[in-house]
Amino acid sequence: MSTGSGRTRILGLHALMEQYVDGNRRAFETMHTLMEPRLRGFLMNLVRDPAAVDDLLQLTLLKAHLARERFRLQGGDPDGAVQGWYFAIARNVAMDHMRDRHREKKRMPGSAADDGTDPVANLAAREPTVEDGTVETEREQDVVDRVRAAIARLPPGQREVVEMHKLKGMTMAEVADRLSVREGAVRVRAHRAYKALARFLMPAHD
Amino acid sequence: MTDMPRLDAKNAILGDLDALQRSRRRHFSPALLLACVLVGTLVILGARPDLLDQPAWQLGLQGLLWFLCLLVLPAIGLGLWFPGRGVRLGLVVGGILATVMATTGWPFVDHGAHAEWGGLDECVGMILGSGAVLVSLGFLSGAFVQRKRVTAVYWVAAGLALAALNVVTWVCPVSGLNHVLPSHLGGAIMLLALAVVVGAAARRNAEAD
Q: What is the pLDDT of residue A124?
A: 43
Q: Does B6 touch chain A (CB under 8 A)?
A: yes
Q: Which residues contact B147 (CB under 8 A, 6 or more apart)?
A: A22, A23, B77, B78, B79
The answer to whether the CB atoms of B7 and A62 lie below 8 A apart is yes
Contact A23 B14 (CB under 8 A): no
CA–CA min distance A82, chain B (Å): 16
Asked if residue B107 has a cis previous peptide bond (ω within 30° of 0), the answer is yes
Q: Give the 3-state secondary structure percentages of chain B, helix then strand then coil, rounded to 5.
A: 80, 0, 20
Q: Do B10 and A61 touch (CB under 8 A)?
A: yes
Asked if residue B72 has pLDDT above 80, the reply is: yes
| Residue of B84, B94, B208 whose CA lies nearest to B158 | B94
Using the Cβ of B147 and the Cβ atoms of chain A, whether some distance falls under 8 Å is answered with yes
Higher-pLDDT residue of B116 and A186 is: A186
Which residues of chain A are within 8 Å of residue B143 when distances are taken between CB atoms? none
What is the pLDDT, as a whole number, of residue A181? 87
- Of B52, B89, B95, nearest in space to B71 by CA: B95
Distances (CA, A) of B10 to A29, A63, B7, B49, B53: 8, 12, 9, 57, 55
Q: Say yes or no to pLDDT of B15 above 70.
A: yes
Alpha-carbon dihedral sign for residues B128, B172, B183, B143: positive
Q: Do A51 and B16 touch (CB under 8 A)?
A: no
Nearest chain A residue to B85 by CA distance is: A15
In angstroms, the first-to-last Cα distance of chain B is 39
How many residue pairs from chains A and B have C-beta atoms closer than 8 A? 59
Reported confidence tier of residue B186, pLDDT bands at 50, 70, 90: very high
pTM higher than the cut 0.80? no
Disruptive mutation site among B10, B27, B147, B150 for chain A (greatest number of A CBs within 10 Å): B10
How many angstroms away from the CA of B9 is the closest CA of chain A?
Answer: 5
pLDDT less than 50: residues of chain A: 1-6, 111-114, 117-127, 205-206
The answer to whether the beta carbons of residues B36 and B29 sit under 8 Å apart is: no
Question: Is A58 close to B9, i.e. CB distance below 8 A?
Answer: yes
Q: Give the pLDDT band of residue B113 (cuts 50, 70, 90).
A: low
Is residue B88 within 8 Å of residue B159, measured between CB atoms?
Answer: no
Q: What end-to-end distance do the CA atoms of chain A give, in Å?
A: 48
Neighbours of B63 (CB within 10 A): 12
The minimal CB distance from B79 to the residues A23, A59, A61 is found for A23
Contact of B144 with B156, CB cutoff 8 Å: yes
Q: Are A162 and A155 in contact (CB under 8 A)?
A: no
